[in-house]
Amino acid sequence: MADSSFDIVSKVDKQEASNALTQAQKEVEQRYDFKGVDASIDWSGDKILMKAASEERVKAVLDVFQSKLVKRGISLKSLDAGKPFASGKEYRIEATLKQGIEQDQAKKISKIIREEGPTSVKSQIQGDELRVQSKSRDDLQDTIALLKSSDLDIDLQFVNFR
């Protein structure tokens, strides 16, 4: 019998993120507490740039954006928001959406699978994702449950289960 396998990836649906950003823009434009503080949120290349007149208001813009991401099913682990910094008369926060699994994270996940997972399960790093293989589908499902319960600081998806 052939080995069963699945891939572990960390990807953000760009369209859903864009929709969340658009919703956040509309809310920032319409909310009363954002009037007169020049609050805005927009794409700046691959980054998301939030601006406002005060540090508290720019943090509030970030909160609005985070709530829109959650409503659209995007984990906050995928959002890497920096600290507010002053730029002229306004405060800014730059944020990025994490795509792919970094090498050190992949090694950490592979180590968890090796040490705590079923013995028949093998994992290998392939670029920015991991391929997990085993003869037993039950062992693969146990591995998925193990990784979901692990406290990793990245959002994982499990795809191509065959």
Residue pLDDT, tens place only, 14-35: 999 999 999 999 999 999 988 8
Instruction: Out of 77, 97, 117, pick the residue that ends a domain.
Output: 97
Write the burial class of residue 155 (CB in 10 Å: 0-12 exposed, 13-18 middle, 19+ buried): middle
Contact between 7 and 159 under an 8 Å Cβ cutoff? The reply is: yes
pLDDT, position 2: 61
Residue pLDDT, tens place only, 113-149: 999 988 889 999 998 889 999 998 899 899 999 998 8
Same structural domain, 20 and 92: yes
Same structural domain, 33 and 48: yes
**Structural domain boundaries enclosing 136:** 4-11+101-159
DSSP the chain: -PPEEEEEE----HHHHHHHHHHHHHHHHH-GGGTTTT-EEEEETTEEEEEESSHHHHHHHHHHHHHHHHHTT--GGGEEE---EEETTEEEEEEEE--S--HHHHHHHHHHHHHHS-TT-EEEEETTEEEEEES-HHHHHHHHHHHHHS--SS--EEE---
Instruction: Out of 46, 73, 97, pick the residue that ends a domain.
Output: 97
Same structural domain, 93 and 113: no
What is the pTM assigned to this prediction? 0.85
- CATH number for the domain spanning 36: value is 3.30.70.990
Same structural domain, 84 and 140: no
User: How many domains would you assign to the chain?
Assistant: 2
Same structural domain, 52 and 109: no
Q: What angle do CA 40, 61, 148 make, to 5 degrees?
A: 130
Same structural domain, 69 and 106: no
